[in-house]
Amino acid sequence: MPETTLAPGVRILVDLVDEAFDRRSWHGTTLRGSLRGLRDPDVTWRPGRGRHNIWEIAVHAAYWKYAVWRRLTGGTRGRFPLVGSNWFACPNPSGRTWRDDLALLDDMHAQLRDEVTRLDAATLDRRGKGPFTTAALVRGIAAHDLYHAGQIQLIKRLRRQ
């Protein structure tokens, strides 16, 4: 469906997903913006024992974009490119690079965004598996991006101290 013909409720969700991930918005840094220009050792530094590094947070965000996409499409588990779920050790022993995992995040976002543009107003209040409506899942993934954008900004600040 061309984006100019999206239902009003769907248009708002697409805008929310975009503004949380990589589009200019009044609230400040987006998830993708918080990752701009970073490389090792910035992305592998941990603020404390048992705390996640920026690289792990980025892959975690990619995984949850995939998980929401899967719930919206009814897709089966196991199509995420990395083995596991939720949190992944990074750098990982498979040899993936930071650049590879940034591309993974971008790809998972594009896949999710594309699916959100396919929604119609009638599906927004439907519940899939679990207690949340389609609209709540999409709002939730945008909030997830913003939560982790703030977390990354804080980790960057702590690293500079």
Q: What is the pLDDT of residues 70-79, one digit of tens each?
A: 999 988 776 8
- Asked if residue 41 has a cis previous peptide bond (ω within 30° of 0), the answer is yes
The confidence score (pLDDT) of residue 55 equals: 97
Q: What is the pTM of this model?
A: 0.93
pLDDT of residue 53 exceeding 70, the answer is yes
- In 3D space, the residue among 23, 25, 55 whose CA is nearest the CA of residue 159 turns out to be 55
Residues 98-106, mean pLDDT to the nearest whole number? 97
Q: How many CB atoms lie within 10 A of CB 69?
A: 22
What's the distance, Cα to Cα, between the start and end of the chain in Å? 48
Q: What pLDDT score was predicted for residue 1? A: 52
User: Which CATH number goes with the domain that contains 139?
Assistant: 1.20.120.450
pLDDT tens string 135-153: 999 999 999 999 999 999 9
Summary mean pLDDT of the chain: 92
More confident position, 82 or 142: 142
Range of the domain at 135: 3-160
Selection from 90, 56, 59, 72 nearest residue 17 by Cα: 72
Count the domains in the chain. 1
